Amino acid sequence: MILKATAIAPSNIAFTKYWGFRDGKLYLPNNNTISMNLSACKTKTTVEFSPEFKEDFLKINGEFASEKETKRASAHLDHIRKLAGISLRAKVYSENSFPKGAGIASSASAHAALAVAGAKAAGLNLNERELSCLARLGSGSASRSVPDGFSEWVAADMHENSFAHSLAPPEHWKILDITAIVSEGEKKVGSVDGHRLAATSPLYSARLAHMKEHNDKVRKALLEKDFDLMGKIIEKDSLSLHAVMITSEPSIRYWNSASLKLMNAIESWRAQGIKAYHTFDAGPNPHIITLPEFREEILKRLKEIPEVKSIIVNEPCEGARLINEHLF
Ligand code: PMV
């Protein structure tokens, strides 16, 4: 048995999003989703199992993780231990390429890296599909950080059928995700709690009814490089997701006034010929999906907006992989 391994995994931005589970234990979603890996938002994780460890131990960016974070990592490690037939406890060190307080959700990159490193350290030899399913058990969106470039995560009733696969490699299309950080704080409602409220919104069933159309259009536009069609659906899908969040009981509002200001700005830039569309995950920071030729102009305009605290520029990139450089 290997016992120690390190993996690196990117976060991803969903072009079509999931919200709500068909199975909240296995993190099985109600609809397919399509995403792009984010080159500047990566997590590197080393996992070591040892008979000498009495309990699981987790450090993030050199600091002891909170009890909640450690519990969540332990629950994910339990799935790995069960698959490998071991009961050894683990030491986990994790480092993010983006600052912890940047308002960037690290759960996708963190759980994809934990799945890939943990499986190897436990002596498992899993293929990409199995690793994607395993990553999903830590955080749904982590399933999409395993394959390369642009991925589609399939909704299914069974654990082994709900995995993400690559629709196109990173070099297929060098579009950009420019993330404008307007709030560095932790979100009030974590996504797992938010997912559980989805069905309380009267708009949820309407959203699910148009997800197939959103996915078909985004997949086609991505493969044919039809930027305007893709951007239009990406923006619409995000707005529909937030309409569900806002109308759930209790109402969840991830946007703040800066998010609304940016949304209006991006739409007015578009009217001036700058091809840019906005999408928001469970947080206030807009991800601006654009083409490389608009990068400098968008960066210039974002820097003029006082609410924008920092900016992260991402390209599509490869998915999770093992590396030969341990963190401890
Ligand atoms: O996988 P989670 O629990 O971090 O949920 C992700 C939820 C959204 O980011 C809002 C949508 C998505 O598909 O990524």
Confidence check: pLDDT of 101 > 70 = no
Ligand 1 pocket test: pick from 11, 12, 15, 19 the residue with the most ligand atoms within 8 Å of its Cβ: 19
Reply yes or no: is the peptide bond before residue 147 cis, omega within 30 of 0: no
d(CA 156, CA 15): 19
> For residue range 238-269, what is the model confidence (pLDDT) as tens digits?
999 999 999 999 999 999 999 999 999 999 99
CB of 30 within 6 A of ligand 1: the answer is no
The one-letter code for the residue type at 21 is: F
CB of 281 within 6 A of ligand 1: the answer is yes
- pLDDT-derived band at 102 (thresholds 50, 70, 90) equals low
Ligand 1 pocket test: pick from 106, 281, 285, 287 the residue with the most ligand atoms within 8 Å of its Cβ: 281
Contact 308, 315 (CB under 8 A): no
Q: Which pLDDT score, from 0 to 100, does residue 1 have?
A: 65
DSSP string spanning 78-112? HHHHHHHT---EEEEEEEESS-GGGS---HHHHHH
Average pLDDT of the segment spanning 86-108? 87
Q: Which pLDDT score, from 0 to 100, does residue 2 have?
A: 75
Contact 144, 108 (CB under 8 A): yes
Q: Which pLDDT score, from 0 to 100, does residue 103 have?
A: 67
Structure tokens at 234: 């990406």
> For residue range 37-61, what is the model confidence (pLDDT) as tens digits?
999 999 999 999 999 999 999 999 9
Contact 233, 217 (CB under 8 A): yes
Q: Which pLDDT score, from 0 to 100, does residue 238 have?
A: 98
Element (H, E) at 307: none
Q: Which of 148-162, 176-190, 239-253 has the least mean pLDDT? A: 176-190
CB of 140 within 6 A of ligand 1: the answer is yes
Average pLDDT of the segment spanning 81-108? 89
Ligand 1 pocket test: pick from 12, 17, 192 the residue with the most ligand atoms within 8 Å of its Cβ: 17
Average pLDDT of the segment spanning 81-85? 98
